[in-house]
């Protein structure tokens, strides 16, 4: 297999569909945020929050890191730096998940936070961002409905979907059905984290009970042939995030081993089986990765240059952009790929 040069993974035009804004906070930015609020953090204090661990530890670290986001100016700072990081990687388009449930829990004003971060990110040229309003599953159906209502209330072309993340084992899927019915009735796109640490049955439930259009992670389907066929037949994209699955221990849990490596990740088998998949970084700073790195890892897993191009194209194809915007993005993508000599 001919190797793709390292610089191509950055230069290649890309889209990213599964990335949490709050998970993009670099340690240096965290120190800056803390200082704004009178807290002095040292590298020794921040380092453990960015280290590999269990899924429960990741959730705990995510909550701690986001505790230093206390108002619109903080969100504006991280949004601008996130957009700049995408610009450096030639990411043309991203659908960015915002933890609105966390804002509510901290008695913040989601409308003010969103306006500030949206405007700050928009100042960075060459990157188009849309936003997913996200609830936290383990906090219950009522808070999830609060996020759904504010997503509808603030709805604009910039707010492209509603989703739920967090601990998928923390609440039965059926409890979320009224929330997703409400969102669907409002004509909003819908997705959910499922099959990250949970089994294939949660992925199937999410599709059958909640009528979601994409699945965040979804690696649990590797444990059941029928569920993989079900996902493929329904053409429900799986937003795959390999480094995240290793750093949180999610993949190790799925395969029943203490640890796991990229060579055990199901991405290549999913892709070659015909499952619709996209590639993302999830929480890039927390997992010390980028979406460019994820394509490099996919190539190291055995995907050829042609397959890498097909995988990159999938993130544009499975985006929630309208037909005209999607066509324009795909034209830019194909032009960029041709310029790099990848086709």
Could you tell me the pTM of the whole model? 0.97
Rounded Cα–Cα distance for residues 280 and 290 (Å): 8
3-state secondary structure 129-182: EEEEEEEEHHHCHHHHHHHHHHHHHCCCCCEEEEEEECCCCCCCHHHHHHHHHH
Low-confidence ranges of the chain (pLDDT < 70): 1
**CB burial readout 252-266, b (16+ within 10 A) else e:** bbbeeeeebebebbb
Output the pLDDT for position 33: 97
The two structure tokens encoding residue 305: 């240059």
Classify residue 249 as exposed, middle or buried by CB count within 10 Å of its CB (0-12, 13-18, 19+).
Answer: buried
Output the pLDDT for position 2: 75
The matching CATH number, chosen from 3.30.70.2500, 3.40.50.1820, 3.20.20.140, 3.30.230.10, for 6-339 is: 3.20.20.140
DSSP code of 48? G
Q: Is 196 a catalytic residue?
A: yes
Classify residue 306 as exposed, middle or buried by CB count within 10 Å of its CB (0-12, 13-18, 19+).
Answer: exposed
Helical packing angle, 200-210 and 177-185, nearest 10°: 40
pLDDT tens readout for residues 51-63: 999 999 999 999 9
Active-site residue (options: 196, 205, 213, 239)? 196
Q: Are strands 238-240 and 214-217 parallel, antiparallel or unpaired?
A: parallel
Whether residue 68 contacts residue 49, with contact meaning beta carbons closer than 8 Å, is answered with no
DSSP code of 280? -
Output the pLDDT for position 343: 73
Rounded Cα–Cα distance for residues 341 and 138 (Å): 46
Whether residue 276 contacts residue 232, with contact meaning beta carbons closer than 8 Å, is answered with yes
Q: How many residues does the chain have?
A: 343
- The arrangement of strands across the sheet holding 238-240 comes to 14-20, 91-99, 128-136, 159-165, 189-194, 214-217, 238-240, 277-279
């Amino acid at each position: 297999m001919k190797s793709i040069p390292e610089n191509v993974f950055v230069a290649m035009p890309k889209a990213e569909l599964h990335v949490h804004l709050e998970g993009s906070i670099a340690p240096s930015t965290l120190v800056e945020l803390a200082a704004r609020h009178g807290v002095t953090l040292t590298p020794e204090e921040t380092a453990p929050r960015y280290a590999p661990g269990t899924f429960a530890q990741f959730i705990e670290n995510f909550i701690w890191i986001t505790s230093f986001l206390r108002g619109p100016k903080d969100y504006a700072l991280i949004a601008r730096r996130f957009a700049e990081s995408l610009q450096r990687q030639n990411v043309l388009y991203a659908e960015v998940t915002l933890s609105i449930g966390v804002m509510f829990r901290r008695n913040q004003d989601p409308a003010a936070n969103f306006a500030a971060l949206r405007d700050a990110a928009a100042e960075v040229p060459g990157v188009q961002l849309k936003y997913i309003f996200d609830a936290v599953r383990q906090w219950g159906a009522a808070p999830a409905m609060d996020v759904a209502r504010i997503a509808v209330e603030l709805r604009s072309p910039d707010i492209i979907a509603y989703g739920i993340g967090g601990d998928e084992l923390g609440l039965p899927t059926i409890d979320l059905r009224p929330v997703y019915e409400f969102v669907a009735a409002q004509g909003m796109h819908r997705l959910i984290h499922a099959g990250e640490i949970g089994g294939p049955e949660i992925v199937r439930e999410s599709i059958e009970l909640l009528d979601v259009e994409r699945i965040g992670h979804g690696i649990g389907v590797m444990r059941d042939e029928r569920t993989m066929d079900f996902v493929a037949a329904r053409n429900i994209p799986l937003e795959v995030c390999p480094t995240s699955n290793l750093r949180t221990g999610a993949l190790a849990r799925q395969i029943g081993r203490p640890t796991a490596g990229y060579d055990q990740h199901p991405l290549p088998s999913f892709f070659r089986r015909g499952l619709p998949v996209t590639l993302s970084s999830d929480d890039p700073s927390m997992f010390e990765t980028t979406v460019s790195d994820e394509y490099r890892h996919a190539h190291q897993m055995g995907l050829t240059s042609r397959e890498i191009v097909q995988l990159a194209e999938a993130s544009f194809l499975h985006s929630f952009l309208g037909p005209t915007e999607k066509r324009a993005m795909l034209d830019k993508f194909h032009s960029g790929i041709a310029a790099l000599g990848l086709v």
